[in-house]
Amino acid sequence: MKSATAASTTAPRDVTSFSLGLALPLGAAFAIFFVLPLAQLFYLSLHNDTAATVWGLGQYIKFLTDPFSLSVLGATLLLGAEVTLACLVLGYPIAWLYQRSGSRVQTLIIMIVLLPLLTSVVVRTFAWIVILGRQGIINSVLQSLGLIGTPLRMIYTQGGLIAALAQVQMPLMVLPLITAIGRIDPNLSDASASLGAGSWRTFVKVMLPLSMPGIIAGCTLTYAAAITAFITQSLVGGGQMLFMPMYLYQQASTLQNWPFAAAISIIFLFAVLAIVALFSTLGRRARGYGDAR
């Protein structure tokens, strides 16, 4: 009982919180192994030569004036948008179904959605090679139905890549949507219906706006994951389509051009941060919009 009396005689200490000092070990580890390397990356990108002796913005100018580099950046950002849209269109109904199902079906849906999230990304991508390949399931079905004579080329195409990425990243969209739709008061849909709005109208005017925070969160995660998905991009996209992660890797690894690779990383990093910031601004506005109703 000694400690109790000691605690009560001294100034009222807050027993419900913990010392900030507990964050020190991780803070120090992050300072050394996360912040310092990124700072060095930035430092290196500000040099014009591969030996990093001449200061300058040469690497950035090289990237931003090179039509090829810019097209790689553009293709990457576009790919992210296409995959995000596909995930939203396919993922929203899953979240909707989840909220209307009994608890057994709910667990089943969650397990189905989580499975790809936890399965190795190489395995998931490999599965798409099997599906989209010349002897794959789609080609065999179409051929046996007599719809096509020769096998279609689906792997190494933009469409195949979008399908594969959408499947790989779908959980990141569905999980926040399930949370957001679950928070909507079901009475609101009933109210909308009893005031004469049809299901589609209620969906567009009530459900979509109210689930906007989940949509924004899901889009942010899916987008960031899709544009950095190195393995899927390289295996399903093939050599013809080049995206930022592979471009970065080639410059760093094959060509050993570290300052240029560093500049690509920084540009890519800021592109991702800009997109995330854009989404979170939209998210804040959407929350205000949702609250106002």
Partner 1 sequence: MSRRQKNFEALSFQIVMTVIAVLALILIVSPSLVVVIVSFTSGFSLKFPPPGYSTRWYVELWNAWQLQFAARNSVVVALWSTGLSVVLGVAAALAISRSKTLTAKLLDSLFMSPLVLPALAFGLAALMFFSLIGLPISLLTLVIGHTVVCVPYVVRNTVAALAQLEPTLLESSAILGASRLYTFRRIVLPLIRPGIISGAFIAFMSSFDNVPVSLFLRDAATDMLPIRMWQDLEGKLDVTIAALSSVLIIGTVALMAIMERTTGLSKRLTG
Segment 136 to 175, residues that bind partner 1, using CB under 8 A: 136-137, 140, 166-167, 170-171, 175
Residue 129 in contact with partner 1, rule: CB under 8 A = yes
How long is the chain? 293
Are 188 and 58 in contact by the 8 Å Cβ rule? The answer is no
Residues near 132 by beta carbon (within 8 Å), at least 6 away in sequence: 138, 154, 155, 160, 163, 164, 236
C-beta of 102 vs 292, nearer to partner 1: 102
Q: Does 50 bind partner 1 (CB under 8 A)?
A: no
Task: Give whichever of 14 and 292 is closer to partner 1, judged by the CB atom.
Answer: 14
CB nearer to partner 1: pick between 4 and 292: 4
Q: Which of 72, 212, 262, 286 binds partner 1 (CB under 8 A)?
A: 262
The nearer residue to partner 1, 146 or 292, going by C-beta atoms, is: 146
Q: Binding marks (x or -) toward partner 1, 213..242, rule CB under 8 A?
A: -----------x--xx-xx--xx-------
- Judged by CB under 8 A, the chain residues 7 through 26 that form the site for partner 1 are 7, 15-26
Least CB distance to partner 1 at residue 156 (A): 13
Where does this chain touch partner 1 (CB under 8 A) — which range of 2-10, 146-154, 184-192, 282-290? 2-10
Place of tokens 């959605």: 113
Measured from the CB of residue 25, what is the shortest distance to partner 1 in angstroms? 5
Nearest CA-CA partner of 128 in 162, 93, 88: 162
Interacting positions 78-97 with partner 1 (CB under 8 A): 89-91, 93-94, 96-97
Which residues, listed in sequence order, are joined to residue 55 by a DSSP beta bridge? 47
Collapsed DSSP state (helix, strand, coil) of residue 229: coil
Q: How far is the CB of 84 from partner 1 (least distance, A)?
A: 15
Smallest separation, CB 200 to partner 1 (Å)? 5
Gap between the Cα atoms of 191 and 185, Å rounded: 10
Which residue from 244, 117, 257 is spatially nearest to 175, judged by alpha carbons? 117
Strands (E), 122-256: none
Residues 239 and 254: their CA atoms lie apart, in Å, by: 15
- Rounded to a whole number of angstroms, the minimum distance from the CB of residue 109 to partner 1 is 7
**What residues form DSSP beta bridges with 47?**
55
CA 292 centroid distance within chain: 29
